[in-house]
């Protein structure tokens, strides 16, 4: 059985990449690159209960599955302690990137989701926000929007919104720390691939972040690997390291990635 080595943390409670690869006849190994450490839930819950967030914030942005996990945990607590507040939050417009995060938010109970499969990256999502008619007729000083994010994030969305006079508030809900066992876990995943399946197995990059040690390993190994990239940003990073992906997913979603890989084989 060919293997897909996924360079990411496994998403809980369900990982759509795992489900799609397994259903298509691949075994999978996850190689976590970063430890995601949630901030104190009490601090996040206190923010969710503020008048600023409940009544002044028109919408919020959440693009990371780690941030979604943290928000969902806080919402589970609020469901028990303040059910009226949860209804306000669940009905707020939510902007997100890609269908996977969209689906997790929908399953959690959020009803006004925007972006999703129409927003393959942060640049597209920023334009969706700018063109959304919910801001029509609203003064710039009242365009309050919250971005739930990690300690490290790209600048694309904040720069775009701030340059268009949005009142952006960033709420950090998790931080990331590099792991020290990345190459060991990666070698273990590679060694578990049967020699006859090496040519049909894949290493999938989801982000440049945290991949430096694996990139160095791939640059110096004599083994040949099929490399797939989840999108053009990661592809550009890999090319800068003289690693050429055989596949770049047209959209950052499981089925798009899988179909691209299947076309090669």
Q: Is 265 within 8 Å of 200 (Cβ atoms)?
A: yes
- How far apart are alpha carbons 229 and 147 in whole angstroms? 26
In tens, the pLDDT along 3-45 reads 999 999 888 778 889 999 999 999 999 999 988 788 999 999 9
Q: Is residue 105 scored above 90 in pLDDT?
A: yes
In tens, the pLDDT along 70-89 reads 999 999 999 999 999 999 99
Average pLDDT over residues 143-172: 93
Q: What angle do CA 219, 224, 227 make, to 5 degrees?
A: 80
pLDDT at 196: 85
Q: Is 224 helix (H, G, I), strand (E, B) or coil?
A: coil
More confident residue, 12 or 106: 106
Indicate the pTM of the whole model: 0.69
Structural domains of the chain ordered from first start: 3-33+179-240+254-264 (3.40.50), 38-175 (3.40.50.10090)
pLDDT at 62: 97
pLDDT at 222: 67
Average pLDDT over residues 211-221: 91
Reported as half-sphere exposure (CB side, CA atoms, 13 A), residue 38 has a value of 16
Q: Is residue 66 scored above 90 in pLDDT?
A: no
- Candidates 55, 129, 130, 43; CA nearest to 92 is 55
Average pLDDT over residues 169-194: 91
Residue 162 pLDDT class (50, 70, 90 cuts):
very high
Q: What kind and span of H or E run contains 258? A: helix 254-264
């Amino acid at each position: 059985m060919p293997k897909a080595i996924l360079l990411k943390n496994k998403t809980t409670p369900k990982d759509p990449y795992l489900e799609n690869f397994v259903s298509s006849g691949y075994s999978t190994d996850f190689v976590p690159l970063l430890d995601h450490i949630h901030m104190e839930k009490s601090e996040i819950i206190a923010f969710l209960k503020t008048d600023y967030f409940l009544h002044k914030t028109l919408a919020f942005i959440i693009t990371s599955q780690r941030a979604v996990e943290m928000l969902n945990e806080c919402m589970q607590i609020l469901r028990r302690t303040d059910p009226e507040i949860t209804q306000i939050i669940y009905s707020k417009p939510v902007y997100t990137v890609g269908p996977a995060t969209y689906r997790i938010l929908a399953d959690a109970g959020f009803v006004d989701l925007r972006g999703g499969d129409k927003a393959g990256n942060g640049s597209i999502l920023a334009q969706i926000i700018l063109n959304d008619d919910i801001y029509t007729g609203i003064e710039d000083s009242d365009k309050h929007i919250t971005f739930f994010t990690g300690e490290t994030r790209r600048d694309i969305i904040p720069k775009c919104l701030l340059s268009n006079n949005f009142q952006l508030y960033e709420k950090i809900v998790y931080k990331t720390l590099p792991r020290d066992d990345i190459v060991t876990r990666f070698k273990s995943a590679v060694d578990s691939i049967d020699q006859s399946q090496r040519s049909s197995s894949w290493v999938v990059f989801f982000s440049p972040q945290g991949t430096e040690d694996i990139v160095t390993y791939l640059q110096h190994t004599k083994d040949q690997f099929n490399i797939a990239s989840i999108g053009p940003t990661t592809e550009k990073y890999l090319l800068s390291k003289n690693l050429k992906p055989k596949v770049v997913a047209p959209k950052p979603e499981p089925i798009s990635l899988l179909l691209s890989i299947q076309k090669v084989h």
